[in-house]
Amino acid sequence: ELAAGAPSGFLSIGHRGASGHAPENTRLAMDTAVRLGAQWVEFDVQRHGDTLLVFHDDRLDRTTDGQGRLLEQSLETIRQLDAGRGETIPTLQEMLDHIDRRVGVNIELKSFGGTAAAVASVLREYVDQRGWVPDQFLVSSFHLRELREFRRLAPMIPTAVLLCGVPLDLAACAAEIGAVAINLASDFVDAELVADARSRGLKVYVYTVNDQDDIEQLRACGIDGVFTDYPERAVFVDRAA
Ligand code: G3P
Ligand code: MG
């Protein structure tokens, strides 16, 4: 029940923005997530030469009017594509310059080989020269070696280990990298893993959860937040005492 009170500690994280309502990974999707109450937004970043693009797939076909592999098309071609409702594929910098500064920004490093270095350099500039604070960012990746490289280059910026499975050593990999959170696929929410993460002081966020009952169940289990295409379904307030 929605009632007056402080926002709960549970995070509604707009997955690729509010991708259930607007074209994923676009500026419109981020604006929509903010409007629907998301406290954080997530988007995917890939390196294309010297440019960091906000884009999820290897191929252009599913989400744009273009065709073929992202990395095989020229930047000029990519930048002219329609990513839905007239939106274009933004660079990381364009996305950051656009986003409402009240939300946290989870940047998922999708590509590897130089992505960490390029993103670290951009985020350091946003922190050092543009007034962003490190805690406004959370950088995550399935590519744990890339994430470790990011930590080395930008140790002030919080990181999260992305998991799609339960590692044999449970949450130890996140602790080793110095991450603050584990972002776990919903199929692998496991009591032992969650307890181990907790005991190491790590937050646990679960992706991608769109069903209202599932979201409420995860919240009741003590999960710290969910990635959802429908951020309004994960917004809760704690009743004033
Ligand atoms: O970061 C959580 C989630 O976005 C990971 O999976 O494929 O949606 O990028 P994917
Ligand atoms: Mg992602």
- Atom 4 of ligand 1 has which residue's CA nearest to it? 15
Contact 226, 203 (CB under 8 A): no
Residue list, ligand 1 pocket, CB within 6 Å: 15, 42, 44, 56, 108, 140, 162, 183, 207-208, 227
CA atoms of 117 and 121, how far apart (whole Å): 6
* Domain boundaries of the chain, sorted by first residue: 11-234
Distance 16 CA to ligand 2 centre (A): 6
48 is catalytic: no
Q: What SS3 state is found at 7?
A: strand
- Measured from the CA of 16, which atom of ligand 1 is nearest? 4
Domain 11-234: CATH superfamily is Phosphatidylinositol (PI) phosphodiesterase (3.20.20.190)
With the most atoms of ligand 1 within 8 angstroms of its CB, the residue from 44, 63, 115 to mutate is 44
98 is catalytic: no
Strands (E), the chain: 11-15, 40-48, 51-54, 104-109, 137-141, 159-163, 181-185, 203-207, 225-228
Which residue's alpha carbon is at the smallest distance from atom 10 of ligand 1?
A: 56
Question: 3 alpha carbon to ligand 1 midpoint, in Å?
Answer: 31
- Nearest CA to 92 out of 45, 132, 48, 56 is that of 45
Token pair recorded at residue 135: 């805690």
Residue 154's φ and ψ, nearest 5 degrees, are -140, 65
CA of 197 to the centre of ligand 1 (A): 20
pLDDT 10s digit of each residue in the chain, 241 long? 334 455 679 999 999 999 999 999 999 999 999 999 999 999 999 999 999 999 999 999 999 999 999 999 999 999 999 999 999 999 999 999 999 999 999 999 999 999 999 999 999 999 999 999 999 999 999 999 999 999 999 999 999 999 999 999 999 999 999 999 999 999 999 999 999 999 999 999 999 999 999 999 999 999 999 999 999 999 998 765 5
Pairing assessment for the beta strands 40-48 and 51-54 based on DSSP bridges: antiparallel
Q: Which pLDDT score is estimated for 237?
A: 85
Residue nearest to atom 5 of ligand 1 (CA): 207
Query: Which amino acid belongs to residue 66?
Result: G
Nearest C-alpha neighbor of 140 from the set 13, 31, 2, 42: 42
